Amino acid sequence: MFVARIRVSWMWWWSCSSTRTGRGSGGRTGPGWTLCMLRRGGHHAIVQVLLNHDRTLSKTLGPANATPLISAATRGHIDVVNELLAQDSGLIELAKANGKNALHFAARQGHVEIVKALLDKDQQLARRTDKKGQTALHMAVKGTSSDVVKALVDADPAIVMLPDKFGNTHYMWRQGRSGQRL
């Protein structure tokens, strides 16, 4: 019974990031709302307690098909990302149904420390593509952080020439979208 409550609490804790409002429980109060607010704060100690109780929680999928690592990377919670990777570095391989992994989301949101942490675990992660053939660099140029772009290029300079499934490199995408150069 205790394990079931922990598993449900964990899923509420990190699945809230997939909602547009960030409320996760439709604005109501209760355990879902409380844990959602804790997740928004990136409470590292809570993650440690939950993972110490049941390590398999780190591989659960939420309603938006996001893993806890993807959720933490998207929200910018470096301590939670580091804890999850310390528990199981294989989490870095997990992606959503659209093929985007934690690096894609961290790059898009401009979380340079998380990008560096993920690349430290696996530099080849910079070459992984989603279902559109886009790398994390494609996602980074959609964002606003030149530091993220630099971190990705430093990890693998050749990715600047990798096209997506439509033949666009990150540079061509950025030129067509805004007419700006990086």
Domain coverage including residue 77 = 1-94
Output the pLDDT for position 175. 53
- 113 domain residue, yes or no: no
pTM for the complete prediction?
A: 0.74
The H-or-E segment that residue 7 falls in is helix 2-15
- 72 domain residue, yes or no: yes
pLDDT per residue as tens digits for the range 96-140: 999 999 999 999 999 999 999 999 999 999 999 999 999 999 999
The H-or-E segment that residue 11 falls in is helix 2-15
- 23 domain residue, yes or no: yes
- 169 domain residue, yes or no: no
- 150 domain residue, yes or no: no
CB-count exposure of residue 36 (10 Å: 0-12, 13-18, 19+): buried
- 123 domain residue, yes or no: no
**Overall number of domains in the chain:** 1
Output the pLDDT for position 3. 45
